[in-house]
Amino acid sequence: MRDTQAAGERPVTHSASTESHYLEQNAKQTKNTVRQSKRADIQAEKTETMTTGTDEKITIIPRSEHNISRNDISDNALKVLYRLNKGGYEAYLVGGGVRDLLLGKKPKDFDITTNATPEQIRKLFRNCRLVGRRFRLAHIMFGPEVIEVATFRGHHDQSITEDKNLSQQAQNGMLLRDNIFGSIEEDAIRRDFTVNSLYYNIDDFSVRDYVDGLKDLKDGIIRLIGDPETRYREDPVRMLRAVRFACKLDMRIEPKTAQPIKQLAPLLREIPSARLFEESLKLLQAGQGYATYKMLKEYHLFEQLFPTISIRFTLNNDSPMEKIIEQVLKNTDFRLKNERPVNPAFLFAAMLWYPVTEHAEKLSQEGGLAYYDAFALAMNDILDDQCRSIAIPKRITTTMRDIWQLQLRLPRRQGRRASKLMEHQKFRAAFDLLELRANVERRTELQELATWWDDYQRANNTQQREMIAELGSSPVRKRHRPRKPSHAARKPNKS
């Protein structure tokens, strides 16, 4: 494989006095290049298999033998690729974007890898922001769109790495920092799965494959690159990613890749809970939530994310809690399939509803508390327990509390209570949870309550008044407040 820098085409550098002029001129050239490249359709002759200088085999798939078109790539991603090339650097589209394009899917984002260092990238792009300590990355900002650019990663060898700012590894094998840069061949080996290690070359529009990723993509296989146990120990989140990609892409996890997962699942406890929250959203809100949930359970990963739920699983998976989880995940998948919005607060509120009520009953019986007070304590306890595993943000837990508390208010409909409840910002989400509970529990009074609220929402004002009248009046307990002292009885102000 041709090495750009080895061939003498070293990165172009510019003095501070010419930087502004260069960027302005380069921006115009980039715009023209992108416009011209959209019309171009260069054809290569045939697929080539080569051996690199590092004894790694590379398969080059020419434009004529793959389906990736620049028309399907973000204009901003193309701008970044071309500007890096103009600056004298190698640059490739890589990862999930290439994978999804080859599968005929529309990528959510486009990632780029290059031999330019983060600092060199920042010099080329005024709209660049460097992020991350564990993995140093460049984010190129184009309004709401962010193009992530990473420098080729090199082999990690703790024994020869002295600078802890570049590389650091914990005793359990987890990579705490990995900023060792290398070649594209090394970068390919450092990626997680073969299907994510495919490189689209903007120079000749070919796809480069160093790890037989294209074959695994065609065969529907999720295969980890390297020794599975070592790679999972480096980053335990890879176990979650294996499950997510298998379900998302409707593929199977290769046996050697799957084998260590159950044993190593507890390593997820070492991952920051905030990161696990983000991963849980990707797992459960990607359109294959129910299939993902079942596979997470199969590999003992779900219990690491949701221990509060897992300890309540039954042998036959037929408890109300398990039924409502199945139903809410299927409903979420359906909404995503039909491009309808989903709310993580509602999803988590449904999943944790029965742990909350079970704990509230226990507190009420053992502590002699009124149920409403026990329920408030139970919400706190369950959320505290859950957030130790995945750090659910306060903006979401606040909504979850509203949805839960409304479940206690929905049966109380007399007078103006029903109309006031409908004015609550979270009423619709609370009603949806009520319907789920009615479908799961099959209790007559709960089903009748859900039906009543459904009819009430559809009724006009006159019909709503009639529905309230039919409920009858229930005695309302008056709250006796202490009288305020009269003006004459007040003590004089001594000021």
pLDDT band at 133 (very low <50, low <70, confident <90, very high): confident
| pLDDT higher than 80, residue 47 | no
For residue 411, what pLDDT is reported? 96
Domain 227-305 has CATH 3.30.830.10: no
pLDDT (average), residues 153-175:
56
Contact 436, 354 (CB under 8 A): no
**163-171 mean pLDDT:** 51
Q: What residues contact 244, with CB distance under 8 A and at least 6 apart?
A: 282, 283, 286, 292
- pTM surpassing 0.85? no
Domain spans of the chain, in order of start: 57-155+176-219, 227-305, 336-470
Q: Confirm if 299 and 259 have CB atoms less than 8 A apart.
A: no
The confidence score (pLDDT) of residue 84 equals 97
Q: pLDDT at residue 482 above 80?
A: no
Residue 109 annotated to the active site: yes
Instruction: Using the predicted structure, report yes or no on whether residue 267 has a pLDDT greater than 90.
Output: yes
* 68 SS3 class: coil
pLDDT more than 70, % of the chain: 79
Phi, psi for residue 287 in degrees, rounded to 5:
100, -10
Predicted pLDDT at 305? 98
Q: Is the pLDDT of residue 491 over 50?
A: no
CB 62 within 8 A of CB 45: yes
Task: Say if residue 279's pLDDT is above 90.
Answer: yes
Q: Which of 25-34, 77-86, 352-361, 413-422 has the lowest mean pLDDT?
A: 25-34
Q: What is the mean pLDDT of residues 454-464?
A: 95
Q: Give the integer Cα–Cα distance in Å for 9 and 4.
A: 6
Residue 64 has pLDDT above 80, yes or no: yes
Taking alpha carbons only, the member of 205, 311, 196 closest to residue 257 is: 196
CB proximity list for 365: less than 8 A, separation 6 or greater: none
Strand, coil or helix: what is 443?
coil
Query: Per this entry, what is the length of the chain?
Result: 495
What pLDDT score was predicted for residue 450? Answer: 97
Q: Are 126 and 23 in contact (CB under 8 A)?
A: yes
- Whole-number average pLDDT of the chain: 85
Q: What is the structure's pLDDT at 173?
A: 54
Long-range CB pairs of 384-388 (<8 Å, 24+ gap) are 385/307, 385/308, 386/306, 386/308, 386/348, 386/352, 387/273, 388/273
Task: Look up 192 and say whether it is catalytic.
Answer: yes
Q: Is 227 a catalytic residue?
A: no
Query: If pLDDT is split at 50, 70 and 90, which confidence band does 50 have?
Result: low
Q: Is the pLDDT of residue 218 over 90?
A: yes
pLDDT score, position 367: 87
Query: Does position 11 have pLDDT exceeding 60, yes or no?
Result: no
Q: What is the pLDDT of residue 132?
A: 82
Q: Of 31-40, 331-340, 409-418, where does mean pLDDT reach its minimum?
A: 31-40
Confidence of residue 141 (pLDDT cuts 50, 70, 90): very high
Decide whether 227-305 matches 336-470 in CATH topology: no
Tell me which H or E stretch contains 295: helix 289-298
pLDDT band at 28 (very low <50, low <70, confident <90, very high): low
- Which is catalytic among the residues 192, 209, 216, 235? 192
Residue of 109, 203, 385, 402 with catalytic role: 109
**Which of 3.40.50.300, 3.90.1010.10, 3.30.460.10, 1.10.357.10 would CATH assign to domain 57-155+176-219?**
3.30.460.10
The predicted structure's pLDDT at residue 136: 85
Catalytic residue among 111, 187, 235, 432: 111
Q: Architecture of 336-470 per CATH?
A: Orthogonal Bundle (1.10)
